[in-house]
Amino acid sequence: AQRVTQPEKLLSVFKGAPVELKCNYSYSGSPELFWYVQYSRQRLQLLLRHISRESIKGFTADLNKGETSFHLKKPFAQEEDSAMYYCALEGITDSWGKLQFGAGTQVVVTP
């Protein structure tokens, strides 16, 4: 069974400090992994996906197949990074439109 675990419900960091959101998954195969973000009063939106290997808003995420992890990192947090972050997994087969979401991590960046 596929499962996504985000162990931290809340992450509070100071502006300018590094931030790392943990995501571990369980899936028998090679899934596609995403980070979605929901800013206050905005809709859920894609932040980044592992196959694009991009850095978005200073965030990066590396897929570690050995540790089955997809942690999200940013070296210097900004106040505008305060949001709810969800790690999500899409299986390779029979998974159209179906994302398995983690429980989410609320990030609060304080000045």
Partner 1 sequence: KAGVTQTPRYLIKTRGQQVTLSCSPISGHRSVSWYQQTPGQGLQFLFEYFSETQRNKGNFPGRFSGRQFSNSRSEMNVSTLELGDSALYLCASSPGAGGELFFGEGSRLTVL
List of residues contacting partner 1 (CB under 8 A): 32, 34, 43-46, 49, 86, 90, 94-104
Q: Whose Cβ is closer to partner 1: residue 82's or residue 101's?
A: 101
Contact of 101 with 88, CB cutoff 8 Å: yes
Q: Whose Cβ is closer to partner 1: residue 25's or residue 86's?
A: 86
CB of 31 to partner 1, least distance (A): 11
CB of 13 to partner 1, least distance (A): 23
Q: Whose Cβ is closer to partner 1: residue 74's or residue 102's?
A: 102
Residue 71 to residues 4, 22, 46, 59, 83, Cα–Cα distance (Å): 12, 5, 15, 10, 16
CA separation for the pair 68, 17 (Å, rounded):
26
CA separation for the pair 55, 46 (Å, rounded):
13
CB of 11 to partner 1, least distance (A): 17
